[in-house]
Chain A
Amino acid sequence: GAGVSQSPRYKVAKRGQDVALRCDPISGHVSLFWYQQALGQGPEFLTYFQNEAQLDKSGLPSDRFFAERPEGSVSTLKIQRTQQEDSAVYLCASRRLNTEAFFGQGTRLTVV
């Protein structure tokens, strides 16, 4: 597709369940970013890949959060043992080096 694609768009998880969120970046975009956006707030940085290398994961809130991009294209953000405070919109963005970032529509995660 032409843009960044995220799936699923909506996910409801029971507390304690594991979830996996997928991001398909724009073809050829080297950099990929994950952000977490709580209701009424701006996006907060989680982690960043350049090709398959995870260059920065300082924003991951706990060791329950894990991200990978094994072939330098599609990325998966995994959250283990979900908790209510994990409820948020998870945004993925991609870009070429030193250009603007293009965002997907996000995955809205609700933990009940």
Chain B
Amino acid sequence: AQKITQTQPGMFVQEKEAVTLDCTYDTSDQSYGLFWYKQPSSGEMIFLIYQGSYDEQNATEGRYSLNFQKARKSANLVISASQLGDSAMYFCAMRRGNTPLVFGKGTRLSVIA
């Protein structure tokens, strides 16, 4: 079974600062994918970034980067230069193959001006 753990219910960050959202996962599979989604108050889940278990380099997408430490089974999201519009819920998720995503409980990020 796959499991995602997000231990930070809420985080605060000053505008223009960087913030790291933690995610650890548990799986016995060798091949899997890790995802981060953003959910603003409007409710839609917005895909941010993907990391494959065999990818040797950490994924980056604009201001988002994924700090992937396979041996520690962690996939932390780093948001650089935080903006007020980054305030939202952030979910870490994983899947193997074409199976459904398994989500963590999420972290609420609040960006302070």
Residues of A bordering B, CB below 8 Å: 31, 33, 35, 41-45, 48, 50, 56, 59, 89, 91, 93, 97-98, 100-106, 108
Apart from A33-B100, A45-B102, A105-B42: 18 A-B pairs, beta carbons within 8 A: A31-B98, A42-B91, A42-B93, A42-B104, A42-B105, A48-B99, A48-B100, A50-B98, A59-B100, A91-B45, A98-B98, A101-B101, A102-B47, A103-B37, A103-B46, A105-B43, A105-B44, A108-B43
Chain B interface mostly helix, strand, loop or mixed? Answer: loop
* Chain A proximity of B56: nearest CB distance (Å): 19
Closest to B100 in A: A45
A3 to B106, CA, bound (A): 23
Q: How many residues of B contact A (CB 8 A)?
A: 22
Contacts of B102 in A (CB 8 A): 45
Residues of B bordering A, CB below 8 Å: 4, 35, 37, 42-47, 50, 91, 93, 97-106
Q: How many A-B residue pairs have CB under 8 A?
A: 51
One of A31, A102, A106 near B43 (C-beta < 8 A): A106
Closest to A95 in B: B98
* Chain B proximity of A94: nearest CB distance (Å): 12
25 contacts between A and B (CB under 8 A): A33-B100, A33-B101, A35-B103, A42-B103, A42-B104, A42-B105, A43-B101, A45-B100, A45-B101, A45-B102, A93-B101, A97-B98, A98-B97, A98-B98, A100-B35, A101-B47, A101-B101, A103-B37, A103-B45, A103-B46, A105-B42, A105-B43, A105-B44, A106-B43, A108-B43
